[in-house]
Amino acid sequence: MPLDLKGHYKTRRIRLCLKTASPFEATKAARSIAQRLDDYWMALRLSSMDIPALHLLRQKPLEPSNAPTLSKALSTYLRLKGNNKSDTFFRGARRNIQAVIDVLDDRPIDQYLSSDAAAFRDYSLERGLTVASVKRNFTTIRSIINLTISEQGLDCKNPFSKVFFPDLDDVNQRKPFPTDLMKLLQSKCRDQNDSKRWLIALISDTGMRLAEAVGLAVDDIKLDKEIPYIDIKPHPWRSLKTKGSQRKIPLVGEALWAARQIKASNKTKFAFPEYTNAQLCNANSASAALNRWVQTNISKDYVIHSLRHSMRDRLREVQCPAEIIDQIGGWSSRSIGESYGEGYTLKVMKDWIKYI
């Protein structure tokens, strides 16, 4: 007799007469009785067991919904917002929504609860994503749902809009290159003198984002002007991060050397054809290759994006005004007043970059 059911019986052992002398018939009868006992014992256990998954029951059933599902909201978002966007935009939106669907199912958007959003946050953090990464993913998810709510005129709230994020201090700060390593990096770029090193050198003395540099057309490099410069503007194969990202940066130092090498050697319309074509700009592939080289040849503590941090610190060090720093790097202006006018001239920016 099972130990967990002994309280239901007066004895510890059950004996029954099978009323047959045949071993075959006795075995057959014993199996039938044992099966009936097993079924009865299961019924006894279930009668004293809590209802399974009771904590997952809703307080009230969901009402039928006419709202589009999350996957349809994604389709609407990509159709309306995807014009002239890069492949990265589409991949990111699809990846984030698919993650929600995998965890919470593909429901009408008005049938997600704030508790569902919190559960998805916890799931994302348990997978090892940093708080900053989860916040970025939530920004995309919120935008997709908000757009559909607005387009469809739905009377519902966005459950992903007010999710609390703990301060886990799990962000790895990208350190700027110190002066000695910057000189070493630029020296090695000159020594190796190939397209990947031109790309690194170009970024090192302009502070461009990697995607901005990788997606340059050869014609964006203006060497025949009184002050040579890079004309950063959107292209069909590479959009820009913000409106303020469209700008001109004077070419000085290693950036000017790299620009001349690119112009002299390139036989296509793209500055870096190994990463860019008429359809897309593969900055992720460039990032992986360049980071491997930097961490193998310079230091494991730095990545390509560290050059952008370095540019800002180098300009601060020579007391360059913040407005000029923002214009060089394409960083957002801090005030409305700073966005008025055409900004600083190439000569002013060149003079400050020469100081570093």
Residue 336 confidence (pLDDT): 46
Range with lowest mean pLDDT among 36-45, 182-191, 309-318: 36-45
Note the pLDDT tens digit of each residue in 228-248.
Answer: 999 999 999 998 888 889 999
* pLDDT tops 50 at residue 337: no
Residue 166: band (very low, low, confident or very high) from pLDDT cuts 50, 70, 90: confident
C-alpha closest to that of 283 among 328, 228, 235, 222: 235
pLDDT digits (tens, 9 = 90+) for 93-113: 999 999 999 999 999 999 999
297 and 252 belong to one structural domain: yes
3-class SS letters over 263-307? HHHCCCCECCCCCECCCCECHHHHHHHHHHHHHHHCCCCCCCCHH
- The type of residue at 86 is S
Q: How confident is the model at residue 8 (pLDDT cuts 50, 70, 90)?
A: confident
- Looking at the structure, tell me whether residues 277 and 220 fall in a common domain: yes
Residue 284 · residue 205 · CB < 8 Å:
no
Same domain for 288 and 188?
A: yes
What integer best gives the mean pLDDT of the chain?
90
Closest-CA residue to 211 (of 183, 181, 245): 245
Measure the CA–CA gap between 65 and 107, rounded to whole angstroms.
Answer: 9
Asked whether residue 316 falls in the same domain as residue 247, the answer is yes
Same domain? 43 vs 74: no
At 87 the pLDDT is: 76
341 pLDDT band, cuts 50/70/90, is low
Whole-number pLDDT of residue 275? 95
Q: Is 123 helix (H, G, I), strand (E, B) or coil?
A: helix
In a 10 Å sphere around its CB, with 0-12 CB exposed, 13-18 middle and 19+ buried, how is residue 123 labelled?
Answer: middle
Name the band, by pLDDT with cuts 50, 70 and 90, for residue 346.
very high
- Asked whether residue 56 is assigned to any structural domain, the reply reads no
Residue spans of alpha helices (H) in 5-110: 23-47, 70-81, 87-104
* Dist CA 9 CA 259 (whole Å): 91
Local structure of 221: helix, strand or coil = strand
Give me the mean pLDDT over the 305-323 stretch.
Answer: 94
- Give 66: exposed, middle or buried? Use CB within 10 Å, 0-12, 13-18, 19+: exposed
Number of domains in the chain: 3
| Predicted confidence (pLDDT) at residue 282 exceeds the cutoff of 80 | yes
37 and 90 co-located in one domain: no
Closest to 197 (Cα-Cα) out of 185, 189, 207, 209: 189
Yes or no: say if 237 and 276 are a contact pair by the CB < 8 Å rule.
Answer: yes
Pair 270, 213 in one domain: yes
Predicted pLDDT of residue 83: 84
Residue-wise pLDDT tens digits, 184-204: 999 999 999 999 999 999 999
Q: Phi and psi for 278 in degrees, rounded to 5?
A: -70, -15
Answer with the one of 152, 167, 194 that is the final residue of a domain: 152
Angstrom CA distances, 89 to 96, 126, 137, 239, 242, stand at: 11, 25, 12, 10, 14
Sheet holding 229-232, edge to edge: 221-222, 229-232, 247-250
Q: Is residue 245 located within the same domain as residue 329? A: yes
Residue 60: is its pLDDT beyond 70?
Answer: no
Note whether 287 and 318 are same-domain residues. yes
Return d(Cα 286, Cα 297) in angstroms, integer.
Answer: 16
- Evaluated on CA atoms 238, 250, 182, 130, the torsion sign reads negative
> Which residue segment(s) compose the domain that 35 sits in?
3-47
The pLDDT score that the predictor gives to residue 292 is 96
Q: Is residue 115 part of a domain?
A: yes
* Statement to judge: residues 96 and 224 lie in one domain: no
For residue 170, is it within any domain?
Answer: no
Q: Same domain for 233 and 305?
A: yes
Domain CATH for 249: 1.10.443.10
Q: In the 8-state DSSP scheme, what is residue 107?
A: -
| Domain presence at residue 173 | no
d(CA 209, CA 221): 16
Question: How many other β-carbons are positioned within 10 Å of the β-carbon of residue 312?
Answer: 18
- 60 within domain boundaries: no
Note the Cα 42 to chain centre separation in Å.
Answer: 49
Q: What pLDDT does residue 211 have? A: 94
Structure tokens at 161: 């809009």
C-alpha span between 304 and 240 (Å, rounded): 18
**CATH number of the CATH domain containing 81:** 1.10.150
- Strands (E) located in 100-239: 221-222, 229-232
Query: pTM of the predicted model, to two decimals?
Result: 0.64
Residues 264 and 224 in one domain: yes
- In angstroms, how far apart are the furthest CA atoms of the chain? 115
pLDDT grade for 13, boundaries at 50, 70 and 90: confident
